[in-house]
Amino acid sequence: MQCTTVFLKNILLFSLLIFLFSCRPHHAAVETKSPDGTLKISVWEEGGKAFYKVTADEKSIINASTLSFDFKGMTSLDDSFKISNVSRSNHDETWKPVCGFSSDIRNHYNESFITFTETSGMKRSFTLIARAYNDGVAFRYQFPKYNQVDSLLILAENTHFSFPANDTAWWIPSNEFAYESLYRKTPLLKMPDANTPLTIATQSGFYVSLHEAALYDYSEMTLKRTSEGEF
């Protein structure tokens, strides 16, 4: 679900799976904080939709953004939600890599399992697993087995990213091979559709790296621009 790369101070990693709305968090937001309390990912339901946002030192890194899916052969999973269950856990272990700059890697995070369930229709559900480390946050989707459905064909994963400011971005166009192309450096508002990893220098003094991991039988992500500062 997350990369285990060691990061420099004030560099955040988002290991995600892939777009947006800006509204106030619901009072019942589920907050998952890093062990040192610096980073926080908040998840909530408002108006029947699923939202999340990310902050660092109480400064916005990702504004309120929506989560939804489009499927083939069934209606979209995008509204009429309620949070039906929340559970939490934490993890702290140290492991030794085969090679690299560090002889020991500490895998230390707090984790929340937030289940969203439809209040009408098929009453389907999914669980968002949110993790917060001292140097980054991550989340992934988990789907249960639906009645009389043996597989899901995903047409679109609509994870929105709403950035709070016109920060500096380093990016690669979506129509080029991500790992062998030259990066462009522009203001975020001038960035078109792009591949990940995407790196942003924020006005609040953080560097944000947005990427994905653990793509088991799953397509890779492309950031599709929907409006200024939103993907």
Token pair 């052969």 is found at 73
- Give per-residue pLDDT as tens, 201-210: 988 889 999 9
Answer yes or no: are the C-beta atoms of 67 and 54 closer than 8 Å.
Answer: no
Place of tokens 């929907």: 226
What pLDDT is attached to residue 65?
95
Q: What are 212's two structure tokens?
A: 């994905």
Dihedral over alpha carbons 64, 213, 151, 82 (to 10 degrees): -20
The answer to whether position 170 is within a domain reads no
Residue 201 lies in a domain: no
SS3 content of the chain, % helix, strand, coil (to 5): 0, 50, 50
Instruction: Convert the pLDDT of each residue in 39-48 to its tens digit.
Output: 999 999 999 9
pLDDT tens-digit map of 43-97: 999 999 999 999 999 999 999 999 999 989 889 999 999 999 999 999 999 998 8
- The domain that holds 144 is classified in CATH as 2.70.98.10
Its domain, for residue 42, covers 11-163
pTM of the model: 0.84
> Is 212 a member of any domain?
no
Domain count for the chain: 1
Peptide bond into 197 cis (omega under 30): yes
Stretch 143-160: mean pLDDT, rounded? 83
pLDDT over 50 at 1, yes or no: no
81 within domain boundaries? yes
Contacts of 18 (CB under 8 A, 6+ apart): 157, 158, 159, 212, 221, 222, 223, 224
Quick one: pLDDT at residue 102? 85
- Does 4 reside within a domain? no
Distance CA 91, CA 133 (A): 10
71 in a structural domain: yes
Q: How far apart are CA 95 and CA 65, in angstroms?
A: 34
CB 225 within 8 A of CB 193: yes
- Candidates 157, 110, 170; CA nearest to 137 is 110
Residue 3 located in a structural domain: no
Report which of 156, 147, 159, 158 is spatially closest to residue 71, judged by C-alpha positions: 156
Query: What is the model's pLDDT at position 178?
Result: 63
Q: Is 169 a domain residue? A: no
